[in-house]
Amino acid sequence: MGMAINHLPQIREECEIREECEVFHMSDKQIREIMSRLHNDLLKGLAKDTHANSIVKCWITYIQDLPNGKERGKFLALDLGGTNFRVLIINLGENHFDMKSKIYAIPTHIMTGTGVALFDHIAECLANFMKENDVYKERLALGFTFSFPLRQLGLTKGLLQRWTKGFSCSGVVGEDVVQGLKDAIARRGDVQIDICAILNDTTGTLMSCAWKNHNCKIGLIVGTGSNACYVEKTENCEIFDGEPGKPELLINTEWGAFGDDGTLDFVRTEFDREVDTKSINPGKQIQEKMISGMYMGELVRLALVKYTRMGLLFGGRGSDLLFQRGSFYTKYVSEIESDKPGDFSSCMDVLEELGLSHATEADMASVRHVCECVSRRAAHLVSAGIATLLNKMNEPRVTVGIDGSVYRFHPHFHTLMCEKIAQLVRPGIQFDLMLSEDGSGRGAALVAAVACRQQLSYA
């Protein structure tokens, strides 16, 4: 009997933590309500009268043609969307696709410096890349993936709405980023690059998957940030001011901002509110902060801190690192959930890194439970969004092209999404989730290639 009595406090603590974690659970009724609110926000974004004040902007991408497999030639792609950027050269042949790429870092002082310095740095890396790949003297078309909120005014014109993901370069918000890059290339005067298109990573993901799979009509990112784009009927886009005559149009929802007006407050927790308050953009990107890799680890950390202070975890003893903001990386969530049931080796490694080597097996089970609750909620929120788009499009079969570190590396995200979307879509709608291969790189080159294909057909 003595043994069992010793375990009672542990069992009680585990139960209390499970009760506390209920705040991360969203009922089916709540999820349906989220879908209804998102659907209304999409309609507001697409309509002329409500677009200006809409939260989910539904920006026009000016892309009306998907790849058809007949694109040919050499193309450059530039992918700027986080603390690194990539330059790629892609050679499209009849049955082959050759690609070389290089990753360049963006130092913090450039991320928070001037726009001129940022674009000069990018132009210098572009020129160096062209030298290394023996195309320095060639004139090449470039697709520019720019994964920040962008108001597009054309295929090669886009105004930055606001910086996200830790950037705050001055003199860029409200300006045309294509012009910023063109000016930097012109200041150098040593390379010939035609910027054929600007797009975001979500659009690139869709284009990259559509090259292989013509059913791909939705692009989704679940990585540092979260966003989705989809193929809409042109007649539903009152704000479209491009060339008439084509039935479909790619819409960049910018759904990360869903909830910025309070529509998600009914499912947000104290941890969400704290993450938001301490972020560099309080009150903005509310849905993104509940989903994406930039915040998921911090949500888990804040929950662990609370439960430790309540005496429910680690015998009430935390560590300096646990109490330090940003110390619990999102990759830890994926690693901890990758352990098989009953095995806590990854969890033990993570807790040791955080100075919590005194954690018991019961503590580890609780830490894993917290991770599961936060990541499941993220997967269900994303699923609610995708199901809303699928129901709105109302097509019999749609492939969703997906990229981003959370979807790619989290062990259960794909399965959680498949199960939840299947529950939420209308009967008769079939869907597949397809991991994108290098959407923001290959996708950018494909947008440039399709643009060139169009120009050739009009020439």
pLDDT tens, 247-288?
Answer: 999 999 999 999 999 999 999 999 999 999 999 889 999 999
CA dihedral 109, 111, 112, 113 (to 10 degrees): 70
Which pLDDT does position 14 carry in this prediction?
Answer: 83
The position carrying tokens 């806590």 is: 344
438 is catalytic: no
Q: Give CA–CA dist 251/62, Å, rounded.
A: 8
- The per-residue pLDDT for range 392-439, each reduced to its tens digit, is 999 999 999 999 999 999 999 999 999 999 999 999 999 999 999 777
Average confidence score pLDDT of the chain: 92
Q: Is the pTM of this model over 0.85?
A: yes
Long-range pairs for 185-189 at CB < 8 Å and ≥24 separation?
Answer: 185/123, 185/126, 187/120, 187/123, 188/123, 188/124, 188/127
Q: Give the whole-number percent of the chain exceeding pLDDT 70.
A: 96
Provide the 10 A C-beta neighbour count for residue 112: 15
Q: Return the closest-CA partner of residue 17 out of 331, 317, 365.
A: 365
- Residue for token pair 């100075």: 355
Kindly report each contact of residues 172-176 with a partner whose C-beta sits within 8 Å and lies 24 or more positions away, as own/partner.
172/115, 172/118, 175/115
Scan for tokens 């530039």, then name that residue: 78
Beta bridge partners of 294: none
CA dihedral 366, 367, 373, 374 (to 10 degrees): 160
Contact 319, 356 (CB under 8 A): yes
**pLDDT reading at 44 higher than 50:** yes
The pair of structure tokens assigned to 306 is 């609370």
3-state SS assignment for residue 245: coil
Given 79, 201, 363, 438, the catalytic residue: 201
Query: Dmax of the chain from CA atoms?
Result: 88
In the set 41, 57, 79, 165, the catalytic residue is: 165
Q: Kindly state the DSSP code that residue 255 receives in the 8-state scheme.
A: G
Q: Where are the beta strands (DSSP E) in 210-309?
A: 216-222, 226-233, 248-252
Does the pLDDT of residue 1 top 50, yes or no?
no
Annotation marks residue 182 as catalytic: no
Contact at 8 Å (CB) between 403 and 439?
A: yes
Which one-letter amino acid corresponds to residue 303? A
In this prediction, residue 149 carries a pLDDT of 85
Spatial separation of the C-alpha atoms in residues 38 and 36, rounded to whole Å: 6
**Residue 440's pLDDT band (cuts 50, 70, 90):** confident
Q: Say if residue 3's pLDDT is above 60.
A: no
The predicted-structure confidence for 310-368, as pLDDT tens digits, reads as follows 999 999 999 999 999 999 999 999 999 999 999 999 999 999 999 999 999 999 999 99
Residue 408 near residue 334 (C-beta atoms within 8 A)? no
Answer whether 147's CB lies under 8 Å from 164's CB.
no
